[in-house]
Amino acid sequence: GAGVSQSPSNKVTEKGKDVELRCDPISGHTALYWYRQSLGQGLEFLIYFQGNSAPDKSGLPSDRFSAERTGGSVSTLTIQRTQQEDSAVYLCASSPVSTNTGELFFGEGSRLTVL
Amino acid sequence: GENVEQHPSTLSVQEGDSAVIKCTYSDSASNYFPWYKQELGKRPQLIIDIRSNVGEKKDQRIAVTLNKTAKHFSLHITETQPEDSAVYFCAATDSWGKFQFGAGTQVVVTP
What's the pLDDT tens digit per position in B56-92?
999 999 999 999 999 999 999 999 999 999 999 999 9
pLDDT at A100 over 70: no
Show which of residues 60-89 on chain A sit within 8 Å of chain B, judged by CB atoms: none
Interface check A111 vs B, CB under 8 A: no
Distance separating alpha carbons of residues B30 and B71, to the nearest angstrom:
9
Of A69, A59, A75, A65, give the one whose Cα is nearest residue A107. Answer: A75
Radius of gyration of chain B (CA): 13
Q: What is the mean pLDDT of residues A38-65?
A: 88
With CA atoms as reference, report the closest residue to B54 among B77, B29, B36, B33.
Answer: B33
pLDDT of residue B96: 66
